[in-house]
Structure 1
Amino acid sequence: MPGIEWKPGNKATPERDLASHPVHVYRYTTADIAPSERFDAWQGHWPNVGPLFSTEPLEAFRVSSELVRLGEIGFMYTDISSQRWKRDKRLVDIGRNSIAVAVNLDGKAAGIAGRNDWVQMPGAAVLVDHGQTSLHDSAGGRSIGFSVPRHLATEAGLDVASLHGMVLSPAESAMLTSHMLQVREALPRFGEEDAARLGRSMLDMLILTLKGANRGEAPGFREDPATLLLRTRKEIQEHLGSPGLTITNLCRKLGVSRSTLHRLFEESGGVQAYIRDMRLEAARQALLNPENPERIGDIAERLGFSDAAHLSRLFKARFDETPSDCRARSMLSR
């Protein structure tokens, strides 16, 4: 296929430093394609363009790009001619719900994100929510960036919608830009087993960059209740059996007050009641599993109950049967 090649890493990296199975880098260039055929060839072969944007060249088209899959995060380096990029409601409705971060290394761009106008100078970063409409023109030049699935950004505490069209100055985005360039250079030294962790480092660096920008209203961190509830439930589920799963520790980990946490779970009787009910449900599922050999006391200990009697008392109140009765009923129904 003209212009496409799969190669790991960077040719300039000494062979002794290469990982045994380096992260795959997907490279594409139109350099060996006839000028009149370049744009159509790019649209037909290059991943991630069609479903995201409709595009229109603003000068003779050319592109050289690299795409790397770092877990769920897509990392891209591109040198492309001037173009118009449009994401309308039709494309939004198709899906691809993610947030993109792009730094222009030596080009400029300007556009509209939702109702917000933005201008991006060389060295600046722009954030675009693919769950909303956008339109922008980019001058020819190099850019580096990545896209994060919305669920990952949300779980990390970002209010994705509020970031749409945000521009970070070269000074504000310097740490993020440096990190991306260093990751690109170092890719040959990492294997596929490291890909997801490298991707996570991009998201972590974005969060630190936003916090380091130190803007008055801390845009991007003004979580709506549904987003915070999702993060809290995930945190509880991941530490369900831990003795450290307390309201104090949850507040510290999530960065919220006790009153905010209480309001989130008011309909469930409060945070502690929600944690208790989740632990009881986990115990019930363990008892109903015929392949689970755990004793009731072991289940109680694993899920954070003080002992088997404590589990039995709460289990009886919640499900109107004892853990022993639940297990016996499950065995009889097999």
Structure 2
Amino acid sequence: MTSPETPERVAFDSEALPPDERMDRYRALYAIGADVTQVGPNPRATFEAWRLDRALLYDRRLNDISHSRSEQRVGHDGFTHWTVTLVFEGLLQVDFGDGMLDIRAGEIVLIDVSRATRNMMRHARIATLAIAQDRIEETVGPIGALHGRVLAADHCRLYADFVGSLLSNLPTMKTSSLPAATSALCTLLKVALEAYGLHDAVVEGSRDGRRLGQLRTLVDGRLGDPTFDPETAIAESGVSRATLYRMLRPQRGLAAFILARRLEHVRRALSNAAERRSFADIALDAGLVTESHASRAFLARYGLRPGGYRAAIATAIAETDPIEQMRLWQQELR
């Protein structure tokens, strides 16, 4: 079992399983996010997944395997996060609806998982950062227009070097360093986007990103105050109402943003094995006065009621169940 002082990790190697179980086990691991199919005679799937700060980092070696997210699946699971995939070696092919596009060694592709996509891997080693949209937008700014963007290898070297180093060092890092590591990934992606030629868009987006980060700090500092509302946030942020609502359109507005921060505080507390307070007390600490309303809001955001989420976390930790761990980690990206 992984020490709570080190990053949480899930690993899988299809070659360690009997041949008739390999694809079924891999499909089960990915069932929450994608449909998996074999697309060649020699399927192979090996990966390590690391839990960062509202982000996951996957180091995968894949061959003759396809992942797909259909319109039906996208509509059903409600995922809103993004993936930033770096190809270390081999070939990744991605279909955004117009046929397969080749992503080769050194290149990066950005994908909004709320849109239907399909991919195939041929002798590929890829590093995928799956990250909550608001987490990446704190640094990069609004990214909605970047779905399907492919960045050339010449523009991605700093990001690629850091990802390689991070994957090597994660086993010995402390969990307290993960927020900084996640922020560094976002900053180096911003550098790659600027090198690509998106300087003006990134600069303007970065202004919004800084404002969003400042707003998050303001909201998080007032979570325990149940009277803190959108009007107070507007007054104390120093940002105009129109700018705030434009920035927060992807988060469905300022009230939804504040509620999301309250619920994230609750989720983090429920994920802590040392936390013994009742859900009602935790919710009150986050400014959610009514337990029933807090429970319904938690269910709507994370797909589980608070008691069920707490029990699932305990089970995943006790049994080191990779499927349950992956399912719970995915909920954090909303």
Q: Same-fold call, TM > 0.5?
A: yes
Give the letter for the 1:31 counterpart: E
Tell me, yes or no, if structure 1 residue 51 matches structure 2 residue 32: yes
Tell me, yes or no, if structure 1 residue 184 matches structure 2 residue 199: no
Which one of the candidate residues 22, 45, 58 is aligned to 1:38?
22
Provide the secondary structure at the position in 1 that maps to 2:94.
strand
Q: Is the alpha carbon distance of 1:165 and 1:70 closer, same or farther for their aligned partners in structure 2, counting shifts above 3 Å?
A: same
Q: CA deviation at 1:146?
A: 0.8
Q: CA deviation at 1:24?
A: 3.0
Give the letter for the 1:183 counterpart: L
Structure 1 residues 293-334: Cα deviation after superposition (integer angstroms, max 9, x where no partner): xxxxxxxxxxxxxxxxxxxxxxxxxxxxxxxxxxxxxxxxxx
Q: CA deviation at 1:198?
A: 1.9
Q: Is the alpha carbon distance of 1:111 and 1:217 closer, same or farther for their aligned partners in structure 2, counting shifts above 3 Å?
A: farther
Q: CA deviation at 1:204?
A: 2.1
Where does structure 1 lack aligned partners over 5 or more consecutive residues? 1-5, 9-19, 241-249, 252-257, 267-334
**Structure 2 CA distance for aligned equivalents of residues 113 and 144 of structure 1:** 19
Q: CA deviation at 1:66?
A: 0.4
Q: CA deviation at 1:78?
A: 0.7
Q: CA deviation at 1:173?
A: 1.1
1:165-176 to structure 2, matched below 5 A, reads: 165-176=148-159
Tell me, yes or no, if structure 1 residue 146 matches structure 2 residue 129: yes
| Aligned position for 1:72 | 54
RMSD: 3.4
Tell me, yes or no, if structure 1 residue 28 matches structure 2 residue 12: yes
Structure 1 residues 43-89: Cα deviation after superposition (integer angstroms, max 9, x where no partner): 22x3xx22222121112322111011012110110111122221112
Q: CA deviation at 1:221?
A: 5.8
Deviation larger for 80-89 or 174-183: 80-89
**Structure 2 CA distance for aligned equivalents of residues 117 and 177 of structure 1:** 23
| Aligned position for 2:84 | 101
Q: CA deviation at 1:27?
A: 1.5
More helix as a share of residues = 2
| Number of residue pairs aligned between Structure 1 and Structure 2 | 229
**Structure 2 CA distance for aligned equivalents of residues 52 and 202 of structure 1:** 23
**Structure 1 CA distance for aligned equivalents of residues 217 and 86 of structure 2:** 32
* Larger relative contact order (CA 8 Å, sep ≥ 6): 2
- State whether residues 70 and 197 of structure 1, in contact with CA within 8 Å, keep that contact through their aligned partners in structure 2: no
Q: CA deviation at 1:231?
A: 6.1
Which one of the candidate residues 138, 153, 164 is aligned to 1:155?
138
**Structure 2 CA distance for aligned equivalents of residues 179 and 228 of structure 1:** 23
Q: CA deviation at 1:194?
A: 1.9
Q: CA deviation at 1:262?
A: 8.3
1:122-133 to structure 2, matched below 5 A, reads: 122-133=105-116
Give the letter for the 2:121 counterpart: S
Q: Is the alpha carbon distance of 1:194 and 1:235 closer, same or farther for their aligned partners in structure 2, counting shifts above 3 Å?
A: closer
Q: Percent identity?
A: 14
**Structure 1 CA distance for aligned equivalents of residues 2 and 221 of structure 2:** 40
| Aligned position for 1:291 | none
**Structure 2 CA distance for aligned equivalents of residues 179 and 107 of structure 1:** 20
Provide the secondary structure at the position in 1 that maps to 2:156.
helix
Q: Is the alpha carbon distance of 1:207 and 1:34 closer, same or farther for their aligned partners in structure 2, counting shifts above 3 Å?
A: same
**Structure 2 CA distance for aligned equivalents of residues 162 and 74 of structure 1:** 22
Give the letter for the 2:18 counterpart: A
**Structure 2 CA distance for aligned equivalents of residues 88 and 264 of structure 1:** 34
**Structure 2 CA distance for aligned equivalents of residues 190 and 233 of structure 1:** 29
Q: What TM-score do the two structures reach when normalised by structure 2? A: 0.59
| Aligned position for 1:14 | none
Q: Is the alpha carbon distance of 1:114 and 1:190 closer, same or farther for their aligned partners in structure 2, counting shifts above 3 Å?
A: same
**Structure 2 CA distance for aligned equivalents of residues 105 and 228 of structure 1:** 31
Which one of the candidate residues 179, 188, 196 is aligned to 1:213?
196
- State whether residues 107 and 156 of structure 2, in contact with CA within 8 Å, keep that contact through their aligned partners in structure 1: yes
Q: Is the alpha carbon distance of 1:27 and 1:239 closer, same or farther for their aligned partners in structure 2, counting shifts above 3 Å?
A: closer
- State whether residues 160 and 220 of structure 1, in contact with CA within 8 Å, keep that contact through their aligned partners in structure 2: no
Q: CA deviation at 1:216?
A: 6.7
Give the letter for the 2:243 counterpart: L
Provide the secondary structure at the position in 1 that maps to 2:126.
strand
Give the letter for the 1:73 counterpart: A
Provide the secondary structure at the position in 2 that maps to 1:21.
coil
Provide the secondary structure at the position in 2 that maps to 1:165.
coil
**Structure 2 CA distance for aligned equivalents of residues 238 and 51 of structure 1:** 30
Structure number with greater Rg is: 1
- State whether residues 34 and 69 of structure 2, in contact with CA within 8 Å, keep that contact through their aligned partners in structure 1: yes
Q: Is the alpha carbon distance of 1:152 and 1:135 closer, same or farther for their aligned partners in structure 2, counting shifts above 3 Å?
A: same
